[in-house]
Structure 1
């Protein structure tokens, strides 16, 4: 999948810059067959009113990372999120955060993934699972 991943990564990166992904400022660091890594430099506009990373940014990064992974695995199909479950565990502030996601199950029409959002210290800030369906 290395060549397919490189081609997908190049195309996805180009397209993503003009979407919500680009607006938020996410950066794809690594894409492998079963794993993706996405990072974000948290800035003041990513914070909520109490000065920590907004839960919606957590959700955006996790859903996007897991979605990219399933789209790369099935570049011939449109994959849509059918379920996203997030556990918020620790805070992140103005720092570089990282999402690591992997595929945990696959059937003919559905894929289940797991994603972890880590702060700069390596603390687990959020844990998510998501299910995607071929559309």
Structure 2
């Protein structure tokens, strides 16, 4: 997770910036890092994550594999959950993906938003766009606190 932007650096408390930096470092050896996700922006209830599509992200039709898009949605929504529930263990309990258009090599971006939070669950929505802003996929997810 490399951090490109986390809102206004002047407005963000130093300890929040340090927490994002620590999270970025911890994510490098995980699936997040293997996939190639990069944090573009984070604020309460929202995160934007980008992915530079590489050949290994493509299927035999030379378009981004649906599993990559699903993983990008899950990672971006999961990041918002992590920021909403610091220090708590959470898991994805449901992920729904609607594939709308295909794309190949280039940069894609996922915006994830918190739409509901209860005592035990968080409900998210996300959308993935290509470089020109075309909607490639959208989805929703439910995450559960387990600690």
Gaps of 5+ in 1: none
Q: Could you tell me how far apart the structure 2 residues matched to 1:122 and 1:48 are? A: 22
- Matched with 1:124 is 135
Match of 1:61 among 65, 72, 77: 72
User: 1:5 touches 1:72 (CA, 8 Å); kept in 2?
Assistant: no
Q: Could you tell me how far apart the structure 1 residues matched to 2:144 and 2:65 are? A: 27
Query: 1:5, CA displacement in angstroms?
Result: 4.1
Gaps of 5+ in 2: 1-10
Q: Does 1:50 align with 2:23?
A: no
Q: In the TM superposition, what are the counterparts of 1:7-22 in structure 2 within 5 Å?
A: 7-22=18-33
- Matched with 2:117 is 106
Map Cα deviations across residues 28-58 of structure 1 (whole Å, 9 max, x no partner).
1111001100001101111011010011110
Query: 1:2, CA displacement in angstroms?
Result: 3.9
Helix, strand or coil at the partner of 2:33: helix
CA RMSD between the two structures: 1.4
- Matched with 1:92 is 103
Q: Which runs of 4+ in 1 moved over 4 A?
A: none
Query: 1:83, CA displacement in angstroms?
Result: 0.2
Q: Could you tell me how far apart the structure 2 residues matched to 1:5 and 1:114 are? A: 24
Q: Could you tell me how far apart the structure 2 residues matched to 1:129 and 1:61 are? A: 12
Helix, strand or coil at the partner of 2:77: helix
TM-score, normalised relative to structure 2: 0.88
TM-score, normalised relative to structure 1: 0.95
Helix, strand or coil at the partner of 1:13: helix
